[in-house]
Structure 1
Amino acid sequence: MSVTFIPTIGRRENDAVANNLVRAIRSGEIFGQAEKIVLYAGWPQVKDYDGRTHSSDLTVVGDAYGIKLVKISLSSDKADVRRDAISILQAAATTESLMGKSLQLKKKRKLIFDVIPIIYAPNIDPEQYDNEEVEFASSEGELYRLLKEQSGKLDGSQVAEVQAIIEGAKALGQIVDAEEDQEVHPVARAYRDLEAVIYNFDATQRSVALTAIQGPQRIRGLAGTGKTVILAMKAALAHIENPNAKILITYYTRSLRDIIERLITRFHRHFAEVDPNWDNVHVRHGWGRQNLPGVYRDTCIREGVSPKSYNEVSNVSDPFGTVCRDLVDRGVVAPYYDVILVDEGQDFPDGFYQMCFYLAKGERDRKQIIWAYDELQNVFDVKVREPEQLFGKDTDGHPRISLTRSLPGGTDTNDFVLQRSYRNQRDVLILAHAVGFGIYGEIVQMLENAKHWEDVGYDVVSGTFTSGSENVVERPLVNSPSVLETPADTPLIRGQAANSFDEEVEAAVAEVRSFIEKGIHPHQILVVSLDDRTARSYFTKIADRLLAFRIPCNNIIVDKYSEPPFRIDGRVTLSTVYRAKGNEAAVVIVVGADAASLKTRTGRNKLFVAFTRTKGWLRVFGMATKTFSQLSGEINAAVASSPRLRFTMPNMSQLNTIQRGLEEKHARLVEAKRRMERLKNELNLSDEDMASLVEDE
């Protein structure tokens, strides 16, 4: 039997009855060995018209069992049980309504399976129960019988559809622009079909989003693995769980606010059918400024401290970390947020994390701090910082945050690694890695071992990954499942050298016009300048030339002090690589690529970030210099070798290693916990039994 277990945000961790039922289902005690079951604890959660939240303590989805929602009512009072029965009936009714929106799950206008509410009340006499709309069980045996009642056979795609609806993936589908099939250019149709795949939000991503752990969590993955979407969903679900809780989701790139707020709104509407209360859900830039709220600035104002601006500390090596540490050292940071979610975590300094530690409510190992980062995307530094460094040491000399120490018993992990990149085409991602590391040129940084390549979604084909060894890795389609069926006359990747600034501008403008003529909307096109010194010149010239063709632009660097939306409908986005981080577009046109040094980490990281902004097509332009000629050679080599990367392992002591970040000790401890849980279940041992075994040793 295959059981997928998702302990969601609504899971009651200390409920022994629910935990025993979960163990029984996961052990194969209830369902047959051939069955495929998805088990949710504390989900779904829905709201009624009066704003009250209703949830299921356990929900079972099976290919032959329909959907069974179980409310556990341990009261011996008839009124309490009746109230719980009405609550689970409401949860079932809303779930059935959501399912009814999918034609794939209906036949003759009716669902092809049943959504059945069950009340499990072992402390009440069955004779006292009088709600005929909700199935009643007063014993485990009766509950098991109800769970095993069959209700229509679902095929694999239908089960996936049920999961996508329950887990909220359908909220993302609304982002895709609706298009009519008639007279749609093949390029536009290819992109529309691609978006349908990207926004499917796979089961692993949804599981990470739904999984709730009473304590810190880390989420890691490459560009396009859904980290921002997952954090937005977690924020929405936490708000539904407790509308009065203070929730913070913070980010580094100022242009991210708009997309985060839109994602939270869509998820919240999907489950609660109303907009979130932004008084309790704060989407904040990390620093903030005079006309812009930010985590640091808001904290200073609450505590009566005058916030410092960048100009006041620009002469120090770590300006943002300095102001955050100063606030922490003053001892004035008081707990304020019930949940803190940090996007783009790789860009924040240690001092910011330490400020967040004190802003989070709760005991040390129960603080709800969830941070996501991409260790290959930081354009400032590539060293992976472990939680012990990020959060520093507590007053007792121990780390403030330790993933190993805070991992609850019975929980598989609180350190999630996302391997599937849905945003980027496989060839583009492989190209970005090749150029980012310097694999076909001068290697300036490298993953430390074969296991790290596997962490980021590659299969190791050959090699020992020791200094001087010849190594081959390959990216399987399963980890880059988004495939763009681009027409032959519109290649996925193309680079072009220009002999002058004006010629390069004209080439970029021609590409924009070409894609718009093929049905790509202006707001689906992003122009990124890698030449920081002349970015304004590029964008002024490009904007003027496009406006001559009645194509307006959204130049987000016009006002460096504002927080403009990254995407404005009907306008081509013009951005530097720093503002582009965390965002995406159907087409990315890179200008000034010759300004990115191929001898430095910073230069190659900027290329990596720029390339990985595209969900579809990539165009790379630069002046005909020696640097651009070398870059063109590397691009051609990577495209020719895709889906494989071939390289000679450098001497790791002579260059920057991107560390794996999964401490071997931590990995061993997590594996030990998994084995202990398995042993406990197999031998029916309690936590006390296991503890006594350790003590005896």
Structure 2
Amino acid sequence: MSDPISIIRGTNDKPVSSRALADVFSRSTDLKGHLFIGYPIIGTSEGRHPIDALWVSAEKGIIIFDLIEGTKPGDYGFRQDDSANKLEARLKPHRELMRRRDLIVPIHTISFAPGVCEPDKYVKDVYPLANVDTLMQALEDFEWQSKEEDSYEAALSALQSISTIRKSRTKRNVTRDDSRGAKLKRLEDSIATLDNLQSKAVLETVEGVQRIRGLAGSGKTIVLALKAAYLHAQHPEWRIAVTFNTRSLKGQFRRLINNFSLEQTGEEPDWDNLRIVNAWGAPGGGERDGIYHEFCRAHDVEYLDFRSAKSVFGQGKEFAGVCERAIGQIREQRAIYDAVLVDEAQDFSPAFLRLCYELLDDHKRLVYAYDELQNLAGESLPSPEEIFGTKADGSPKVQFERSARDEPRRDIVLEKCYRNSRPVLVTAHSLGFGIYRDPPRAGWTGLVQMFDHTQLWEEIGYQRKDGELKAGSSVTLCRTEESSPNFLEDHSPIDDLVQFIPFENEQSQAEWLVDAIRKNIECDELRHDDIVVINPDPLTTRQKVGPVRRRLLEMGINSHLAGVDTDPDVFFQPDAASVTFTGIFRAKGNEAGMVYILNAQDCQSSAWNLASIRNRLFTAITRSKTWVRVLGVGSGMTQIMSEYGKLKSRNFELHFTYPTKEQRQQLQIVHRDMSAEERKRLRSREQNLVDLITDLESGSVHPEDLDEGLRAKLEELLIRKNG
């Protein structure tokens, strides 16, 4: 018990006394355990009952703090009894905390009133009251007698179990212990509750902007949803918005928030004050509304729909353009939200985050979560200083400097991955970055992209095994047991967790997939909603999955194409016993036990946009929480399999030379995104160049025929590029 006190700073309606309590605990070197401020919230027949603060100590048990703002203690004895009774009722269902009819961990209470100068004047009966000067002495009176082994850990675990949100959507019936369905059930049961870091991320609340970063599967969406629900439970009068890029996440957010509210408060949320809204939105109100549309309406500026935006700003720049334009047109800021939470921030332009920032009151409670590698457009989010700009004095509006130990964190990194096993996750990273991709002809590396900041690798749970993690150096990276728990992979052999399967043509690929899905349902005890089939190219999905779906229907197996056969907000259909087929964009934010990826060759053979196309493959693979099958045809698939083979032979370690700044910039140019119009223009210019070379080689055109200045400029450019 030598670790210092852990202080988790949530939010409540008693900021002065909360800060004073945290200051006392952070200054002490003797206090151990965990101090929760603004947690837990207990659901009762009378409604929600928030505990002001709570300390869990191995020496003293559980201490409830009744926090008092101002100089009048009021009936603090009643409040202490009420909170103790409600917390005892909350803990009694945990059998590991009970001996016969009694809790094995003591619950103490104390009122803390930093504004009361002489607390002894108000003390009555057995109800302790303290201020800053007397608190440490008052805490000495509490003790834990007859302590049983592991009871502290059990009490802490029961209190930290914020929500069992990862449990399966519907009941799973299995008859064989060794079936895929049984393995999936055991896995889901093992990760049903949040870990300590995720719990802290849910509760920690700051004034200003907060950023949550993490891998796919690290729980960003879950943390964001529960944070919204927690803020709503503590401040039901606040107007809170949750927004995102992937439409199919709306149902998931609603389920997570509703479950948290019912578990913690016994009540459903007030959906008028806690709004789950699309990013763009449209006129019509209700489910059609969105953040951008609300902004335009509130500030009386012109709203543009997608078609109008495309004609004004061009393909691929529609949403960034309308957000920039709307911000530029406002005359006076009008705050309509107390807090805004943004998921999938990597898929939005900085302008959208600025727009959300402008919708907030002076407290600027904006929380945004992102995973750099899941950006399907191949672009990175700028720094917060660049996104939010500067104040009148030139200082940044937002900075994520390292928080002091006595402050809640503004920049949270979730490094542990609970969805993907080590082999699955490292495979996704290897292919996403092109770690073992063969260099193209006359190329210096097979890398497709690379983090600008080397420390990001360590922040997402890798450790350096060999070499130096710096530009220009060779390095070997591996996952740790802490960041990729073994139980995620030890249920199945590696060759079952990840498989790359080549086919001669798309017909044989489709036939194999149909048979595999049939076996999953009939033999493996998997449900229909355990299976997701992803086509990485969003433009060809309907056409490519059609033959597979028709054959499944002939066999009596229902399926649906997410967002096409369903409402745009629906991804799974568990009640309809239907297998989900999807393009990559609707797959984001969702997960399944068995993931099939069709036509993976498209992620190798592309001449343009290779960074964003490889990100699609990364995102598709990381949808799997257990098994993944990567299917493809032709030479492109052969090359993808070669990359995987090299990774597997190195025991799923990443070995590469870290590119320099100049080399990273070159990668960004070579593999940058190009619109269809830009690609058409480039093809035309390439053809003109081919025609010129052909004419020069045949002698029908001589170098001397070319304009002397043009010829000199061409020679200069070629020498510069190759020099």
Q: CA deviation at 1:475?
A: 0.6
User: Could you tell me which of 585, 599, 602 is aligned with 2:612?
Assistant: 602
**CA shift at 1:303, angstroms?**
4.0
Amino acid at match of 1:116: H
- Residue in 2 that maps onto 1:108: 100
Aligned to 1:327: 326
Q: Which residue of the other structure, out of 75, 84, 92, is the alignment partner of 1:92?
A: 84
Q: 1:449 to 1:300 in 2, by over 3 A?
A: closer
Q: Is the 1:76–1:124 Cα contact (8 Å) retained in structure 2? A: no
Taking the aligned partners of 2:112 and 2:36, their CA distance within structure 1 comes to 16
The change in CA–CA distance for 1:120 and 1:353 in structure 2 (over 3 A counts) is closer
Q: Find the residue that maps to 1:367 and give its secondary structure.
A: strand
1:516-537 deviations in Å (ceiling 9; x for gaps): 2211211111110013343102
Deviations 1:477-536 (A, max 9, x none): 110115244445971111111222221112222222222221121111111001334310
User: Residue type of the partner of 1:329?
Assistant: G
1:633 Cα offset (Å): 1.1
Q: CA deviation at 1:75?
A: 5.8
Answer yes or no: is 1:14 the counterpart of 2:16.
yes
DSSP-derived class of the 1:248 partner: strand
Partner of 2:371: 374
Structure 2 equivalent of residue 556 of structure 1: 562
* Contact kept in structure 2, 1:450 and 1:460, CA below 8 Å: no
Equivalent residue number for residue 526 of structure 1: 532
**Contact 2:9 2:408 (8 Å CA) reproduced:** no
CA contact (8 A) 1:75 1:123 kept: no
For residue 322 of structure 2, what is the amino acid of its counterpart?
V
Residue 494 of structure 1 aligns with which residue? 499
Aligned-partner SS, 1:327:
helix
Q: Deviations over 1:429-465 (max 9, x none)?
A: 0001110111111211123454222111111112234
Structure 1 residues 261-313: Cα deviation after superposition (integer angstroms, max 9, x where no partner): 11111111121111101000011111124562211123333444452111112
Give the whole-Å Cα distance in 1 for the aligned partners of 2:261 and 2:666. 41
| Aligned position for 2:33 | 37
Q: Work out which of the residue numbers 230, 237, 249 in structure 2 matches 1:256.
A: 249
1:476 and 2:472 matched: no
Q: Residue 435 of structure 1 corresponds to which residue in structure 2?
A: 431
**Quick check: 1:153 aligned with 2:147?**
yes
The separation in 1 between residues aligned to 2:37 and 2:436, in whole angstroms, is 48
Distance 1:567 1:418 in 2: 30
**Residues 1:644 and 2:649 are matched in the alignment:** no
Assess if the C-alpha contact under 8 Å between 2:204 and 2:409 holds in 1. no
Q: Which ranges in structure 2 are unaligned for 5 or more consecutive residues?
A: 438-445, 669-723
Q: TM-score of the superposition, structure 1-length normalised?
A: 0.85
Report the AA paired with residue 5 of structure 1: I
1:70-85 equivalence runs, <5 A? 70-73=65-68, 77=72, 80-82=73-75, 84-85=76-77
The AA in structure 1 aligned to 2:461 is: G
Check if 1:452 corresponds to 2:456.
yes
Aligned counterparts of 1:247 and 1:61: Cα–Cα separation in 2: 31
Distance in 2, Cα, partners of 1:373 & 1:95? 35
**Match in the other structure for 1:669:** none
C-alpha separation in 1, matches of 2:394 and 2:404: 22
3-state SS of the aligned residue for 1:401? Answer: coil
Structure 1 residue aligned with 2:592: 585
1:543 lines up with 2:529 in the alignment = no
Write the letter of the residue equivalent to 2:347.
D
CA distance in 1, matches of 2:368, 2:616: 22
CA gap 1:112/1:393 in 2 versus in 1, 3 angstroms: same
CA gap 1:23/1:136 in 2 versus in 1, 3 angstroms? closer
* Worse-superposed segment, 376-385 or 320-329: 376-385
How many Å apart are 1:466 and its aligned residue? 5.2
Query: Aligned-pair distance for 1:180?
Result: 5.9
Measured in 1, the distance between the counterparts of 2:87 and 2:564 equals 47
Alpha-carbon distance, 1:236 to partner: 0.8
Deviations 1:153-207 (A, max 9, x none): 3555x54543344344333255465446753443222211211233332101111
Partners of 1:109 and 1:512 in 2: how far apart? 50
Q: Which has the larger radius of gyration?
A: 2
Alignment CA distance shift 1:561-1:271 (3 Å): closer
| Residue correspondence of structure 1 range 253-292 to structure 2 within 5 A | 253-289=246-282, 292=288
Q: Which residue of the partner structure matches residue 201 of structure 1? A: 194
Q: Distance in 1 between matches of 2:507 and 2:26?
A: 65
Give 1:372's aligned amino acid. Answer: A
Name the CA distance, whole Å, in 2 between partners of 1:337 and 1:520: 43
- Structure 2 residue aligned with 1:238: 231
Tell whether 2:296 aligns with 1:300.
yes
Is 1:465–1:471's contact at 8 Å kept on the other side of the alignment?
yes
Cα gap change, 1:542/1:641 in structure 2, threshold over 3 Å: closer, same or farther? same
Q: How many residues align?
A: 641
Task: Using the TM superposition, give the Cα deviation of residue 361 of structure 1 relative to its aligned residue in structure 2, in angstroms.
Answer: 0.8
Moved more, 221-230 or 482-491: 482-491
Equivalent in the alignment of 2:308:
312
1:340 corresponds to which letter in structure 2?
V
Residues 74, 501 of structure 1: alpha-carbon distance in 2 compared, 3 angstrom cutoff:
closer
Instruction: Summarize deviations over 1:106-140 as a string: whole Å, max 9, x none.
Output: 222432112233234556776865576x5555743
Taking only the aligned residue pairs, the percentage that are identical comes to 27
- Tell whether 2:55 aligns with 1:60: yes
1:416, distance to aligned residue in structure 2 (A): 1.2
TM-superposed CA distance for 1:559, in Å, is: 5.9
Tell me which residue corresponds to 2:345.
Answer: 345
